[in-house]
Amino acid sequence: MLDKPNTMSSFWMPFTANRDFLREPRMIHSAEWMYYTSSDGRQIMDGTAGLWCVNAGHRDPLIVEAVQKQVHELDYAPNFQFAHPQAFELSGKLTAMMPEGMSHAFFTNSGSESVDTALKIALHYHRMRGDSARTRLIGRERGYHGTGFGGISVGGIVKNRMHFGTLLTGVDHMRHTHDLDRNAFSRGCPAHGAELADDLERIVALHDASTIAAVIVEPMAGSTGVLLPPNGYLQRLREICDHHGILLIFDEVITAFGRLGAATAAEYFGVKPDIITTAKGLTNGVIPMGAVIVSDDIYNSAMENADAPIELFHGYTYSANPVSCAAALAALESYEQNDLFRRAALLSQPWEDQLHSLKGLPNVIDIRNLGLVGAIELAPREGAPGARAYEAMKRAWDAGIMIRVTGDIIALSPPLIISEPEIIKLVQTLGEVLAELP
């Protein structure tokens, strides 16, 4: 076995056009702050913070040193019936950044696991309170909640669902909020569409509220192509959930840790959910880790109403493992020391102005932005949806910037350390790519 040749196809790449990649690989060798170095020695600006996770920039020394130190001291310890101090320290620091009254964290290893954990906690909550008919989970069309069976069931991206059987039962979906006819080229949240939250009332009327456990939405949908909540939409969703005793879960795997210029989207929009899922920026992407933050009511209810000494039969071997905790503690420290959330808030205006300067380029049918997130939607090529943006991604790599595409939407989400000249460079380079793109 040892002499088996290392062919590149041994690695089945995730969410990748594997066959095409092997013909024309885009290989990354190293990274520092805003830049990757490709294996052919070129500097590539990170326009996407990796996959929306490297908020403090690459190889932040604070995080690198914390991880190195932790591995030397305590490499692993179980958190089932035993624990180590960093897990408690991190829970305290993390929940202090969350909305008031959300002071308990359950640790996972990814966004997908955070979502599945949140859905399970919602079901558990109702059952432990004797409201066990509440089992339905409501997501939204075009939602992305990772790739676990829970996440793809409540998620609403067709390709992520269609190949995988019948998924979870008892799931329904609200309509998505993307409406180019009314909202194209909005700056910040779009004006039209708050009434789409009333779609939850339609679902309640169909199934009865007494059967619905929770609604999960991304407060700002990222991976599906940056769909921004219409003004007032999230507030309305909160009111409807309250009215019917339905838990509201915000999937903040992308939005937590400064992406919108605040610690969470909940804080940014002034809407408090019952559960927040996080991952990605929690460790600045350095070590896989996620966290689910729950309201005091949910935690206290589990402590009071559990039917066994173990209150929640759920957890992962690596939940709150010491090295992840060290990375997360250092990442949160770095965000605070460098005031990165405020920096993102301050940069959001020049970011918006730069992005909207691309209006008028060929095939650009929408530009949208919020915090340090941006999207440029392209008209699809006749009979080849997604092909135009995919080609833009490849050409952008050749031109020295990393962008991310979903369908025909280009998404941008740079590390929060980006400077104004770098914003200009990123957008100008993208503009040059789009100007030449057939």
Ligand X SMILES: Cc1ncc(COP(=O)(O)O)c(C=O)c1O
Least separation in angstroms between residue 148's CB and ligand X is: 8
Among 38, 79, 91, 112, binds ligand X (CB under 6 A): 112
Does residue 374 interact with ligand X by CB under 6 A?
A: no
Least separation in angstroms between residue 280's CB and ligand X is: 6
Query: Could you tell me which stretch among 18-26, 141-149, 156-164, 328-336 binds ligand X (CB under 6 A)?
Result: 141-149
Here the tokens at position 246 are: 């339905």
Here the tokens at position 248 are: 């509201």
Least separation in angstroms between residue 262's CB and ligand X is: 17
Site string for ligand X, 143-162 (x = CB under 6 A): -xxx----------------
What residues form DSSP beta bridges with 278? 291
Do 156 and 232 form a contact (C-beta atoms < 8 A)?
Answer: no
User: 364-370 and 373-378 as β-strands: parallel, antiparallel, unpaired?
Assistant: antiparallel
Least separation in angstroms between residue 223's CB and ligand X is: 4
Among 90, 254, 331, 344, binds ligand X (CB under 6 A): 254
By beta-carbon proximity to ligand X, the closer residue of 118 and 189 is 118
- As a 3-state breakdown, the chain gives helix, strand, coil percent values, each rounded to 5, of 40, 15, 40
Does residue 110 interact with ligand X by CB under 6 A?
A: yes
What residues form DSSP beta bridges with 381? 384
By beta-carbon proximity to ligand X, the closer residue of 204 and 331 is 331
Among 115, 119, 217, 326, binds ligand X (CB under 6 A): 115
Q: Which are the contacts of 166, defined by CB distance < 8 A and separation ≥ 6?
A: none
Amino acid (1-letter code) at residue 106: F
Do 234 and 219 form a contact (C-beta atoms < 8 A)?
Answer: yes
By beta-carbon proximity to ligand X, the closer residue of 319 and 354 is 319
Least separation in angstroms between residue 214's CB and ligand X is: 15
Least separation in angstroms between residue 368's CB and ligand X is: 17
Least separation in angstroms between residue 110's CB and ligand X is: 4
Distance, in Å, from the CA atom of 153 to the CA atom of 150, rounded to the nearest integer, reads 5
Query: Could you tell me which stretch among 22-30, 142-150, 172-180, 185-193 binds ligand X (CB under 6 A)?
Result: 142-150
Does residue 253 interact with ligand X by CB under 6 A?
A: yes
- Where in 207-226 is the site for ligand X (CB under 6 A)? 218, 222-223
φ and ψ at residue 187, rounded to 5 degrees: -100, 120
By beta-carbon proximity to ligand X, the closer residue of 250 and 341 is 250
Chain CA centroid to CA 319, Å: 19
Q: Identify which of 97, 70, 100, 110 has the alpha carbon closest to the alpha carbon of residue 86.
A: 70
By beta-carbon proximity to ligand X, the closer residue of 102 and 358 is 102
Least separation in angstroms between residue 302's CB and ligand X is: 23
Indicate the residue whose CB is closest to ligand X: 111
Tell me the Ramachandran region of residue 268: left when phi exceeds 0, alpha when psi lies from -120 to 50, beta otherwise: alpha
By beta-carbon proximity to ligand X, the closer residue of 189 and 254 is 254
Site string for ligand X, 273-312 (x = CB under 6 A): ------x---------------------------------
Distance, in Å, from the CA atom of 36 to the CA atom of 54, rounded to the nearest integer, reads 12
Do 375 and 224 form a contact (C-beta atoms < 8 A)?
Answer: no
Site string for ligand X, 221-250 (x = CB under 6 A): -xx---------------------------
By beta-carbon proximity to ligand X, the closer residue of 218 and 267 is 218
Least separation in angstroms between residue 190's CB and ligand X is: 19
DSSP sequence for 74-128: -S----SS---HHHHHHHHHHHHTSPTT--EEEEESSHHHHHHHHHHHHHHHHHH
Tell me how many residues contact ligand X (CB under 6 A).
14
By beta-carbon proximity to ligand X, the closer residue of 110 and 354 is 110
- Where in 11-70 is the site for ligand X (CB under 6 A)? none
φ and ψ at residue 25, rounded to 5 degrees: -65, 145
Alpha helices by DSSP H, listed for 210-356, are: 233-244, 265-269, 296-305, 322-337, 340-356
Among 111, 193, 273, 371, binds ligand X (CB under 6 A): 111
Distance, in Å, from the CA atom of 114 to the CA atom of 105, rounded to the nearest integer, reads 11
Interface with ligand X by CB under 6 A: which residues? 110-112, 115, 144-146, 218, 222-223, 251, 253-254, 279
